[in-house]
Amino acid sequence: MTAVGPAAYSPARTMTFRSPYPPVSIPRVTLHDFVLGGAAARGDAPALVEGATGRVLTYGQLIDQTRRLAAGLSRRGIRQGDVVAIWSPNSPEYAVVFHAVSRLGAILTTVNPTYTVEELAFQLKDAGARLLFTTAALLDKARAAADAAMPIEIITIDAADGVPSLASTLVDADPPAVTIDPDNDIVVLPYSSGTTGLPKGVMLTHRNLVANLLQIDAMEPAEMR
C-alpha cells in the first residue's frame, strides 16, 4: 500500500478570490458614536420596535437613556475597561445597555439567554464581570449564578423586588468623558459556543464592529432593508 501525502503545491491550482463589492473604508470612531452619531436628527422617529408588544423606542429616547444609564453606571463604580454582563432576551433596552457600556469605555459580555446557571456562572467568572443586567424572569437563576461565580451586582431591565432596575439606575447627568482607542479597545466580549472545549471570550474592538456594520451596508444599503 502506498501512503498518500499532502498534495504538492502547484501554481496552476492557486486562485485569487476578490469580493464583488468595493473596499470598505473604516473610520477611526467608537461604536456608539458611529451608530448613534446621527440619531439626534431623527428625534421622534422609531429606532427600535419590540415585536411582541409593538412598544417603540425613538431615536431621541435611545440617545437620552443611553446617556443617563452611562452616568448611572459610572456612579455605581463602572470604569473604563470594566466588564458588564447582560443575560436577557432581545428588547429595546438591550441596545440601551449596549451603548451605555460602550460610552463608558467599558466592555459588554453578552450571554446566551438559554444558558444554564452553571454556564452563566462560568462566563461571569471567566470574563471578570462586575455587574449583571438580566430580567425579572431570569432573576432567580441569575442570583444563583452570581453567588457561584463571585459577588456581583444585579440590575433588572424590567422591575423586580429586591434589586435595582434599569429605570432606577438612570441619572439625569452626562457620563464622564473617556478617551477610547477604537483600534485596540475592546467593546464587546461574546463567548464561543464551546463545541470542542470550554467557551472562550472573543475580544472585539470598536473598529471590529464598525467594520462589520460597514461591510453589511456595502452589501445591502440601509435604504434597501
- What values do phi and psi take at 219, rounded to 5? -80, -40
Dig out the grid coordinates for 15 from the structure: 486562485
**Nearest alpha carbon to residue 123 among 84, 159, 93:** 84
Would you state the pLDDT for residue 1? 47
Question: Can you give the pTM of this predicted structure?
Answer: 0.88
pLDDT > 60? residue 167: yes
Is residue 85 scored above 70 in pLDDT?
yes
- Name the nearest CA neighbour of 100 among 72, 59, 130: 72
What pLDDT does 10 receive? 61
Cell of 86: 447582560
Is 197 a residue whose pLDDT tops 90?
A: no
Ordered structural domains, the chain, with CATH: 28-224 (3.40.50.12780)
Q: Are 135 and 155 in contact (CB under 8 A)?
A: no
Q: What pLDDT, in 10s, does the model give residues 41-78?
A: 999 999 999 999 999 999 999 999 999 999 999 999 99
